[in-house]
């Protein structure tokens, strides 16, 4: 019967390096978001790593299926991590986990919970009284509905210097919106009164607005955190959840700096081309037209935006090329520090 093979212990003249805490002994690192919100990093796994390394070392160790020191020079580790992300070998990134305490408006939480790969425990309005804390934008940040995207905004009300009358009307609309929030927030006093008169907490809460703050503990592995950040740092994500995603990014970046650098290079700041887009770009580079083989106006607009990012705008008239049915070509072209291509978001 064979026995498992283990890596031998380091020789006495090669002692293990001392271990250091990736959070430098901190039990909580917090970034405030909006008026009442925050993202707080509470814990990380691994918490202890060899001196001179970061939590990135756990990813390298998993990729090499090694024990103990089992890693090579930091520069080689960086190359391996970049290779893994570039080629979408994601399992090693699941070996790193982070635990957060987060306070956010309920409407942000309802978008956030669509990321179903985390462990979540939320503040319960059945067992506890909901706090009197609400999200409200400033008068100068009430956004307008986008005319081209049903789930997005476009610009701010009252910010049209070329049309003072329209700007004044929009400013009044923004004031009316804030008055609407005042009325919604006033429901908390009625909620508290009903609790005092015996209405159950589980029923009294149902009339409270989505601007009310909730809290939860959220634990997730690094691979799925990167997926969350890819969607919620995208330029098309709602501004409020983008602020939370940025705070999360800023908290974990010092803990896994090599991974976050690679992720920004190969995901956040990258530009992904579809098969028709790759063929259109090839045609442009060969001296032809960059017309896309599509008659979908949204797809054509996205292609025009990608060409602009690449600094390769087609000087020819913008016309759709005949649609083809050739197999897709998967290509990725790095972009110069811009946001990722549009994604459908909740």
> pLDDT band for position 319 (50/70/90)?
very low
Contact 249, 226 (CB under 8 A): no
* Pair (42, 107) in one structural domain: yes
- Please give the mean pLDDT across all residues of the chain: 86
- 250: in domain: yes
> Among 47, 78, 205, 232, which one carries the catalytic annotation?
232
- 99: in domain: yes
- 1: in domain: no
The β-bridge partners of 331 are: 273
Contact 136, 35 (CB under 8 A): yes
* Pair (249, 145) in one structural domain: no
Spatial separation of the C-alpha atoms in residues 249 and 243, rounded to whole Å: 10
Report the share of the chain in percent with pLDDT over 70.
83
- Whole-number pLDDT of residue 338: 40
Spatial separation of the C-alpha atoms in residues 342 and 36, rounded to whole Å: 30
CA neighbours closer than 13 Å in the CB half-sphere of residue 176: 8
* Pair (30, 89) in one structural domain: yes
207, 226, 251 - which closes a domain = 207
Q: Of 130, 76, 82, 80, which Cα lies nearest the Cα of 106?
A: 130
* Pair (203, 254) in one structural domain: no
* Pair (262, 277) in one structural domain: no
207, 239, 254 - which closes a domain = 207
* Pair (82, 228) in one structural domain: yes
- 6: in domain: no
Q: How many domains does the chain have?
A: 3
Q: Please say if 32 is a catalytic residue.
A: no
Average confidence (pLDDT) over 84-104: 96
* Pair (89, 45) in one structural domain: yes
Domain that holds residue 284: 272-334
- 344: in domain: no
CA angle 336, 340, 54 (to 5 degrees): 80
- Whole-number pLDDT of residue 144: 86
* Pair (113, 243) in one structural domain: yes
* Pair (95, 160) in one structural domain: no
* Pair (151, 179) in one structural domain: yes
> pLDDT band for position 298 (50/70/90)?
confident
- 341: in domain: no
207, 229, 260 - which closes a domain = 207
- 343: in domain: no
- 340: in domain: no
CATH code of residue 23:
3.30.1360.170
* Pair (164, 294) in one structural domain: no
Greater model confidence, 179 or 4: 179
pTM beyond 0.75: the answer is yes
* Pair (278, 258) in one structural domain: no
- The pLDDT tens digits of the residues spanning 301-318 come to 899 999 999 988 654 544
Report the share of the chain in percent with pLDDT over 90.
68
- Whole-number pLDDT of residue 8: 53
Tell me the two tokens of residue 319: 């016309």
Q: Dihedral through CA 225, CA 227, CA 230, CA 232, nearest 10?
A: -70
């Amino acid at each position: 019967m064979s026995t498992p093979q283990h890596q031998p212990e380091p020789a006495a003249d090669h002692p293990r390096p001392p271990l250091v805490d990736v959070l430098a002994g901190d039990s909580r690192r917090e970034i405030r978001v909006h008026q009442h919100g925050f993202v707080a990093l509470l814990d990380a796994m691994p918490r202890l790593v060899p001196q001179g390394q970061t939590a990135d070392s756990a990813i390298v160790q998993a990729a090499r299926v090694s024990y103990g020191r089992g890693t090579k020079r930091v520069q080689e580790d960086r190359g391996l991590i970049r290779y893994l992300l570039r080629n979408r070998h994601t399992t090693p990134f699941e070996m790193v986990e982070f635990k957060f305490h987060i306070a956010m408006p309920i409407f942000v939480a309802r978008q956030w919970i669509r990321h179903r790969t985390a462990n979540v425990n939320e503040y319960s309005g059945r067992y506890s009284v909901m706090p009197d804390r609400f999200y409200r934008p400033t008068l100068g940040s009430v956004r307008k509905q986008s005319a081209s995207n049903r789930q997005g905004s476009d610009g701010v009300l009252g910010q049209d210097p070329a049309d003072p009358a329209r700007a004044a009307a929009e400013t009044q609309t923004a004031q009316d919106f804030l008055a609407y929030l005042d009325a919604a927030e006033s429901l908390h006093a009625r909620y508290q009164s009903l609790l005092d008169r015996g209405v159950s907490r589980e029923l009294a809460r149902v009339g409270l607005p989505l601007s009310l703050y909730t809290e939860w503990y959220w634990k997730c592995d690094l691979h799925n955190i990167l997926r969350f950040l890819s969607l919620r740092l995208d330029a098309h994500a709602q501004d409020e959840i983008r602020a939370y995603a940025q705070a999360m990014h800023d908290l974990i970046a010092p803990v896994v700096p090599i991974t976050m650098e690679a992720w920004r290079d190969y995901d956040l700041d990258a530009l992904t081309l579809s098969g028709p887009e790759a063929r259109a770009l090839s045609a442009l580079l060969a001296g032809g037209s960059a017309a896309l083989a599509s008659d979908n106006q949204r797809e054509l607009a996205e292609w025009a935006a990608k060409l602009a990012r690449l600094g390769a705008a087609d000087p020819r008239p913008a016309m759709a090329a005949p649609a083809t049915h050739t197999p897709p070509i998967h290509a990725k072209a790095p972009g110069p520090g811009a946001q990722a291509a549009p994604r459908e978001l909740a």
